[in-house]
Amino acid sequence: MEEKRTVCVTGASGYIGSWLVKTLLERGYHVRATVRDPGNEKKVKTLLELPKASTHLSLWKADLAEENSYDEAIQGCKGVFHVATPMELVHQGQDGEEEMESTTLNGILSIMRSCSKANTVKRFVYTSSTGTITVQAQPPLHEYTEDLWTDVDLCYELKMYGWMYLVAKTTAEKAAWKYAEENGINMVTIHPSIVLGHFITPHTSFSTDVATAFYTKNEANMALLKKLNGSNAVHLDDVCNAHIFLFEHPLAKGRYICSSHTVNLFEIAHSLSLKYPDRNILTEFEDLDRSPKIIPCSSKKLMALGFEFAHKNKGVCDFCAETIEACKEMGML
């Protein structure tokens, strides 16, 4: 019985990984959580203190850059959620190419080889991104859908903000689909847009940097913040529920966008300025369009399978405020 419910989560100490571990434990799963350094008390304490952790959670040391690193953690698991990615790639250009290959690309293939060796894994769920879909020379008129693939050549040509991350995620996902087809791995990919909301990770991350930039006006995170305008977003809780939904659903197949909101930066800033009147929240952004053309990332395929977004009635402003409040609770702000 225990074996049936044993799953592995990579990148378990991260923003999404830790909430996914928490949700899986709440649902009664036995979770093997991989981290690069199980001895890093600051990073793993929150995981070890989760309800049911003493009976249902184990920590495993593994690194994307090391072949066979995930073999032991995956052996005997019925499911693998591959969440880990070096998010620093968002801030890198050409200099990140080597790391991109050694971690994001070789990492996913190495984990899939571990799944093949284990021969117990019924489904492999990979946390991809809408970033593997939305870079198009001619964007769609109405919505982004799962049949689109980011144009990697265009990323190299335009070198837009975060381009090496987009190249990494797209290249890795394509290679993963090829491996899955050639080796009979049952893979499902989930594509969140920008993820925001209350969290438990005891350190900052891409998502906390985005949300808190409104509040701190940290110069280094302003480029990130501006990327929000005209983009798409989704709540962390919905993202993690969707991971488990796709793992459990017998008919899940292929790629699934997971995104519930479109984002107007000016509207969020205005709402946050009312919520935090003493913070002098930035409400004006030079060079940004007040009414950007927003192409939604469509989650119709996910919803057609029966998934419901629990946080659909909140606004992105609420997601940001939750993130800011969680940062405050953890002493990050």
What residues make contact with ligand NAP under the rule CB under 6 A?
11, 13-17, 35-36, 43, 63-65, 83-87, 103, 127, 129, 169, 192, 194-195, 205-207
CA 303 to chain centre: 19
Distance CA 43, CA 65 (A): 20
**Which of 232/271 has CB closer to ligand NAP?**
232
**Which of 3/329 has CB closer to ligand NAP?**
329
**Which of 185/228 has CB closer to ligand NAP?**
228
Q: How far is the CB of 85 from ligand NAP (least distance, A)?
A: 3
Question: What three-state secondary structure class fits 119?
Answer: coil
Alpha helices in 119-235 (DSSP H): 152-158, 163-183, 206-216, 222-227
Question: What three-state secondary structure class fits 235?
Answer: strand
Q: Which residue is nearest to ligand NAP (CB)?
A: 14
**Which of 118/263 has CB closer to ligand NAP?**
263
Amino acid in the structure at residue 126: Y
CA atoms 312, 229, 291, 266: torsion sign: positive
Q: Is 117 exposed, middle or buried (0-12, 13-18, 19+ CB in 10 A)?
A: middle
Q: How far is the CB of 118 from ligand NAP (least distance, A)?
A: 18
Q: Is residue 145 a contact partner of residue 103, using CB atoms and an 8 Å limit?
A: no
- As beta bridge partners, residue 7 has 31, 79
**Which of 52/91 has CB closer to ligand NAP?**
91
Tokens of 36: 């690069």
Q: Which residues of 279-292 are buried (b: 16+ CB within 10 A; e: fewer)?
A: eebbeebeeeeeee
Q: How far is the CB of 4 from ligand NAP (least distance, A)?
A: 26
Q: How far is the CB of 5 from ligand NAP (least distance, A)?
A: 23
Strands (E), the chain: 6-10, 30-35, 57-61, 79-82, 123-127, 187-192, 194-196, 232-235, 254-258, 261-262
**Which of 16/125 has CB closer to ligand NAP?**
16
Q: How far is the CB of 90 from ligand NAP (least distance, A)?
A: 9
**Which of 15/215 has CB closer to ligand NAP?**
15
Tokens of 84: 């880990």
**Which of 163/206 has CB closer to ligand NAP?**
206
Q: Is 20 exposed, middle or buried (0-12, 13-18, 19+ CB in 10 A)?
A: buried
